[in-house]
Amino acid sequence: MNSFNKQTVSRFKETIWNYYYAHGRCFSWRNVDDPYKVFISEVMLQQTQTKRVIEKYEQFLAEFSSFEILAAASLRDVLSVWQGLGYNRRGKFLHEAAQTIIRNYRGIVPNDPDELVKLPGIGPATASSICAFAFNSPTIFIETNIRAVFLHCFFHGKSDIHDKQLLPLIAKTVDQENPREWYYALMDYGVYLKQTISNPSRASKHYLVQSKFEGSNRQIRGKIIKLLTDHNALTEKELLQKTESQAERFTPILKQLINESIVKRNRDMLCIP
C-alpha cells in the first residue's frame, strides 16, 4: 500500500470529487429524503446492476408506496413486481422487513446500523449504507465499486486483499459532513475504473466470478416463482412440466422454496401465499 498520509488522502479526495462533479450519475433514488425509498433501493441494489434496478424501482414504488402498503400486501403480489431482479429471497426479506418495521418501529426506519441488521435480509454493509443515504450518517461500509476504488488507488499491483484491509482506509477518508454524496462519488468512480481498466476487484480476496444463469438452478428457481405468481396455484406435475426441467433437479429446488416459505403446499396444490 502507498504511504497513507494527509497529502495522499487530500489528493485521493480531490480525484474522487473532481470526477463526481464532472461525471456523477443521476438516479431517482439519490438525494431523496424519504428513508422508505432509500431502504427499497438499497435492498434492490444488492447483487443487482443499477440498469436492472432503474425500471423496477419506479414500478415497485408505484405499487407499494409505503411500508404500510408493502407490509399489508401478499408475498405473491410482492414477488410478482419483483420479477426480473433475481434472488427472490430478497423480495421476501423486504416484505418481512416492512412488516417488522411496522410492528416494532412504528413504521420508521431506524437510523442505527445495529438496529437495522436485526431486520430480515439486512447485513452490516446494507445497514450502514441505508444510514448513509437515508440520514447522511458517516457510517462505514464497502460494496463492489467502493472496493474497486480502494484496491486501485492504494493496493495497485497487489492481490488477495481482504476487506479488513480496506475498511480502515474507508473510515479515514469518509466525508464527515456529506457522507451521502461522498459515497455516491466513490461508487461512480468505481464504475468508471471498471469501464476503463481491467477490473480492480480481481485483486480482492472476495472476488468471485458469477456462475452462468442459463441452465442453472437459479433459473429453475426463478421459473417456479414466476409460474406461481402468474397462476393462483399449480400441481407439482403441472409445475414440473411448465419449467421444462428434469425431476431430479426440480424436486430439491421446490423443496427448498417450500422450506423457505416462499412456496406453500396445500394438499395437491402449490402456491405463493
| Residue 5 phi, psi (nearest 5) | -120, 180
The catalytic residue among 42, 96, 181, 238 is: 42
Is 42 annotated in the active site? yes
Closest CA relative to residue 145, chosen from 183, 173, 177, 171: 183
| Residue 132 phi, psi (nearest 5) | -65, -45
CA neighbours closer than 13 Å in the CB half-sphere of residue 44: 27
Length of the chain: 273
CA neighbours closer than 13 Å in the CB half-sphere of residue 247: 3
The grid coordinates listed for 265 are 403446499
Q: Classify residue 109 as exposed, middle or buried by CB count within 10 Å of its CB (0-12, 13-18, 19+).
A: buried
**Residues carrying an active site annotation:** 42
